[in-house]
A = this chain, B = another copy of it.
Amino acid sequence: MITIKEIARQLDMSTTTVSNVIHGKTKEVSQETIERVRAYLDKVGYVPNLAAQNLAANQSRIIGVVIKTRKDRYMNILSEPFVSRILGVIEQEIREAGYFMMLYISEDMMDILNKVAAWNTDGLLLFWMVDDDALRVYKRYRKPVVCVDTYISREVIHQFEHSFVNIGLEDEKGTYDAVSYLLKLGHQRIAFLSDDRSGVNRERYRGFCRALDEAGKEHGEEDYFELNSGKDGIYESMAQLAKRAAGYDAVLCCSDVYACIFTKALERAGLGVPTDISVMGFDDTIPGAISRPAITTVHQDIEKKGELAIGTLLRMIQGESFENDQIILKTSIIERESTCKR
């Protein structure tokens, strides 16, 4: 790889001049010089050494995308439809802005933060942060950070010295609307199926409860179907839950994939969807749309979420400052074939 120094030698000028032309700082460079340099540059196909640039300019043009995973839950988190879809748009936005994406996936936030520091990452996109991890990040990382789908407590937010920016979703309202919709369809007993009740899923569960409360329907712990989502456990777990579903009119799942799998489990248990029981999903991802019956779901605009997240982060990197604030995207019900009137 040819270096600036070598180019300067060949052209018999200083590295400063070459560097200036490369970066378009040409106010004080003669037209002739500019052209000589430019011509030579693309003759030899000059490519900057980004490590050197990083070192000298103290910026990496890397944007870190942080996903704290859980081995016991996800064996391959990148293949979750929501994740792969939003990552696709994020990657594209980062690339088009002239930055590079580096993925940090780990169970250990400290490990992630060390790597982020080692690469001198220019900004961070954090998925699904929880209180203590968020705190760790804000303690150790002094550059722009944008959170996605993050619920952290007021107290923790106040501990942040700089701004907390989150791109989120009406999770609570999403399930509230879903349950209201099911109620309107004439369903009486409704269950909520999820693999945990923290973060996003806690909010979704809250919306479920509120809708039932407001409608004056009794409900309790037994209406929460907790999925054991360990690698293989999931199908057995689904089969178990399908048995419990016998007395219900509808089950609202926290994701479309779960809705698809649960639909199969129900039918295997002799319950037709939607004839015997309605099933709803959440997120509006591909699997729900192409399965049969197509899954009625709570839609969210994943592309927009990704664009907003990166857009905001990029603006922060470019120096714009944000107060503590959030952008909360809307949800809407997409009616398909897995639900019907009772």
What is the distance, in angstroms, from A336's C-beta to the closest C-beta of chain B? 11
Asked if B287 and A47 make an inter-chain contact with CB atoms under 8 angstroms apart, the answer reads no
Asked if A76 and B105 make an inter-chain contact with CB atoms under 8 angstroms apart, the answer reads no
What is the distance, in angstroms, from A286's C-beta to the closest C-beta of chain B? 7
A196 to B83, CA, bound (A): 27
A287 to B106, CA, bound (A): 26
Asked if B290 and A290 make an inter-chain contact with CB atoms under 8 angstroms apart, the answer reads no
A291 to B259, CA, bound (A): 10
Identity of the chain B residue whose Cβ is nearest the Cβ of A337 in the assembled complex: B264
A78 to B85, CA, bound (A): 7
Within 8 A of B (CB), among A52-84: 52, 54-55, 60, 76-79, 81, 83-84
Whether A118 contacts B50 in the complex (CB less than 8 A), given A100-B102, A263-B292, A290-B257, comes out as yes
A271: interface (CB < 8 Å):
no
Asked if B81 and A88 make an inter-chain contact with CB atoms under 8 angstroms apart, the answer reads no
Asked if A105 and B100 make an inter-chain contact with CB atoms under 8 angstroms apart, the answer reads no
A49 to B257, CA, bound (A): 41
Number of interface residues of A (CB under 8 A): 49
A residues neighboring B (CB under 8 Å): 1, 47-52, 54-55, 60, 76-79, 81, 83-85, 87-89, 91-92, 95, 100-103, 105-106, 114-115, 117-120, 257, 260-261, 263-264, 267, 286-287, 290-294
Asked if A51 and B292 make an inter-chain contact with CB atoms under 8 angstroms apart, the answer reads no
Q: Copy number of this protein in the oligomer?
A: 2
Asked if B286 and A79 make an inter-chain contact with CB atoms under 8 angstroms apart, the answer reads yes
Q: Which residues of B contact A291 (CB under 8 A)?
A: 260, 287, 290-292
Q: Which residues of B contact A293 (CB under 8 A)?
A: 292
A79 to B87, CA, bound (A): 8
Q: Which residues of B contact A257 (CB under 8 A)?
A: 286, 290
A48 to B103, CA, bound (A): 19
A277 to B130, CA, bound (A): 50
21 contacts between A and B (CB under 8 A): A49-B118, A50-B51, A50-B120, A51-B51, A51-B119, A51-B120, A52-B55, A76-B89, A77-B88, A79-B286, A83-B84, A84-B84, A91-B105, A95-B105, A100-B115, A101-B102, A261-B290, A263-B292, A287-B291, A291-B291, A291-B292
Asked if A290 and B292 make an inter-chain contact with CB atoms under 8 angstroms apart, the answer reads no
What is the distance, in angstroms, from A318's C-beta to the closest C-beta of chain B? 21
